[in-house]
Amino acid sequence: MSTNKTKGKRILIMNRGEIALRVAKACRELGCVAVGVFTDNEMQAKHLEVCDEWIHLSGSSNAETYLNIPKILDLCKKYKIDGVHPGYGFLSENTEFSDTLVKNGITWIGPHPEAVRVMGDKAVSKQFAEKVGIPVVPGSTGAVPTVEEALKIADKIKYPVLLKAVAGGGGRGMRVCHNADDVRANFEAVGREAASAFKNGDLLVEKYIVNPHHIEVQILADKKGNVFHFFERECSIQRRHQKIVEEAPSPFIGDDEELRQRVCNSAVKLAKAINYDSAGTVELIMGEDKEFYFLEMNTRIQVEHPITEEITGIDLIVCMIQSAFGDDLGIPGQEWIKRTGHAIECRICAEDPITMLPAPGTVTGCETNFPQGIRFDNCLYKGLQVTPDFDPMVGKLIAKGIIRDVAVRKMRAALDGLLIEGLKTNVPLHKVIMNEENFIAGKYSTNYISTVKPQERVNTEMDFNDICKKIAGIEARRMGL
């Protein structure tokens, strides 16, 4: 008999946007009370429609709201919260927050704090991975204190090298250096930037792997020592070291099952070594030669988790909540986790599709006309104001097919049927990528955007007019015109 400690729990969703909505759905499925928050600036957030209760998180800046630990703790006490789901970003990898909750008898829906402490620092986690026997990127395994030392390491591992903030995240705090002059010119500046952005100026120096693939393994574990992997995702289509298209399985690994097993087993080995007990992701960088190295572990649910859910049929957020309250995951063994088909995710961001820079604005119309089987995790509604205060991602379009070609075909049709008016988005860029020959062939690395340059083929004018016409048509029909 499996236990059910999760049912009836009051869960505070300490996030916003599409992930708040996604977590609320999982809470309701489990018979929990989904408690959402809204700030002074986002009174009408779409996730509130899915929550059972909503409370005011007063203030407008992130410091006053989503990052304010004492204020959140007070709300937890006042509203008798049993557990907190942090989503991604914000306080999701902050051990002060998880420690505070746990000390106050509130369940943290995430891994135990020690796992976050070790994995949250790129130097500490690299040392840990090396100790466990997972290959790490050549270079320093600890913070490099001086530019002289950085130059010595670079000479040894050969250029190009990457200066990387140990506390970095979201693709920030990284600089590629092609020669000693680059290192001299950038070392202090990157350290200063890291110190101001992440409150920690320490830097690693590592080999910059050329034309690599970003491969990551989804992990899910319970509180009883069971650690499972859910295969890999490939997230090599990136801009500014941030993912925009992800797919599972990886086209680069393809049908090399021996390699896939080694990749997944390495991730499980690492997660077991840290007694991992929640959902998490082990990120790897893989060279053209298929050698792979540990990059970092994200100790939270990730943006791109849906593609793994689509190919394995498991609800990762539901399992993450069950795991936190000590329930069984209902998975008898690794061999029960199978994958079928292929899934692709396009991150829909309020940004200029050519420069790929954030483009805040207001949604004046939003309609969807998707092919069968499309999943659209989003927080869009007519009237939504996208401000520069938050990440510009407003949704994730997910397509699945029995083989990759079918998933790509469905994604093309889904992008054509995603009509967002008033807001500049990267939908036109995704349309180019889904029709571009290298992508179609599954042959691309993290340099895709900078070398293939799909952004140069974007035609926004045509797209914009088309969308306005289509939305006007839908609205006219609705009004019986």
313 is written with which tokens? Answer: 């049929």
Q: Provide, rounded to whole angstroms, the least separation between the CB of residue 56 and Mg ion.
A: 33
Q: What residues numbered 61-90 form the site for ligand ADP, per CB under 6 A? A: 88-89
DSSP sequence for 34-88: EEEEE-TT-TT-GGGGT-SEEEE---SSTTTTTT-HHHHHHHHHHTT--EEE--S
User: Residue 241 binds which entry of Mg ion, ligand ADP, none, with Cβ cut-offs from 5 to 8 Å by kind?
Assistant: ligand ADP
Q: What whole-number distance in Å separates Cα of residue 129 and Cα of residue 118? A: 10
377's CB contacts (< 8 A; 6+ apart) are 18, 21, 22, 306, 395, 396, 398
Q: What whole-number distance in Å separates Cα of residue 369 and Cα of residue 232? A: 30
Nearer CB in complex with Mg ion: 283/463? 283
391 makes contact with ligand ADP (CB under 6 A): yes
260's CB contacts (< 8 A; 6+ apart) are 231, 232, 249, 253
Q: Which residue is nearest to Mg ion (CB)?
A: 283
317 is written with which tokens? Answer: 């957020």
Nearer CB in complex with ligand ADP: 214/430? 214
Nearest one of 177, 149, 165, 176 to 201, comparing CA atoms: 165
User: Residue 371 binds which entry of ligand ADP, Mg ion, none, with Cβ cut-offs from 5 to 8 Å by kind?
Assistant: none
Nearer CB in complex with ligand ADP: 162/219? 162
378 makes contact with ligand ADP (CB under 6 A): no
User: Residue 225 binds which entry of ligand ADP, Mg ion, none, with Cβ cut-offs from 5 to 8 Å by kind?
Assistant: none
Q: What whole-number distance in Å separates Cα of residue 19 and Cα of residue 291? A: 33
345 makes contact with ligand ADP (CB under 6 A): no
Nearer CB in complex with ligand ADP: 10/47? 47
Q: Which stretch binds ligand ADP (CB under 6 A): 41-49, 294-302, 316-324, 418-426?
A: 294-302
DSSP sequence for 178-229: -SHHHHHHHHHHHHHHHHHHHS---EEEEE--SS-EEEEEEEEE-TTS-EEE
User: Residue 177 binds which entry of Mg ion, ligand ADP, none, with Cβ cut-offs from 5 to 8 Å by kind?
Assistant: none
For this structure, is 478 an active site residue? no
Q: What whole-number distance in Å separates Cα of residue 270 and Cα of residue 363? A: 43
398 makes contact with ligand ADP (CB under 6 A): no
Q: What whole-number distance in Å separates Cα of residue 169 and Cα of residue 304? A: 16
437 is written with which tokens? Answer: 């020959």
Q: Provide, rounded to whole angstroms, the least separation between the CB of residue 236 and Mg ion.
A: 12
Nearer CB in complex with ligand ADP: 69/406? 69
Q: Which residue among 233, 260, 300, 347 is the active-site one?
A: 300
Q: What residues numbered 236-275 form the site for ligand ADP, per CB under 6 A? A: 238, 241-243
Q: Provide, rounded to whole angstroms, the least separation between the CB of residue 298 and ligand ADP.
A: 6
153's CB contacts (< 8 A; 6+ apart) are 139, 140, 144, 161, 205
User: Residue 425 binds which entry of Mg ion, ligand ADP, none, with Cβ cut-offs from 5 to 8 Å by kind?
Assistant: none
Are the beta carbons of 236 and 335 closer than 8 angstroms?
Answer: no
Q: What residues numbered 134-193 form the site for ligand ADP, per CB under 6 A? A: 137, 162, 168-171, 174
206 makes contact with ligand ADP (CB under 6 A): yes
Q: What residues numbered 249-308 form the site for Mg ion, per CB under 5 A? A: 283
Q: What whole-number distance in Å separates Cα of residue 363 and Cα of residue 174? A: 33
What number of chain residues touch ligand ADP (CB under 6 A)? 29
Q: What whole-number distance in Å separates Cα of residue 375 and Cα of residue 397? A: 6
User: Residue 302 binds which entry of Mg ion, ligand ADP, none, with Cβ cut-offs from 5 to 8 Å by kind?
Assistant: ligand ADP
Are the beta carbons of 236 and 446 closer than 8 angstroms?
Answer: yes
280 makes contact with ligand ADP (CB under 6 A): no
Residues annotated as catalytic are: 300
Interface residues with ligand ADP (CB under 6 A) are: 88-89, 137, 162, 168-171, 174, 198, 206-209, 212, 214, 238, 241-243, 283, 285, 295-296, 298, 302-303, 391, 446
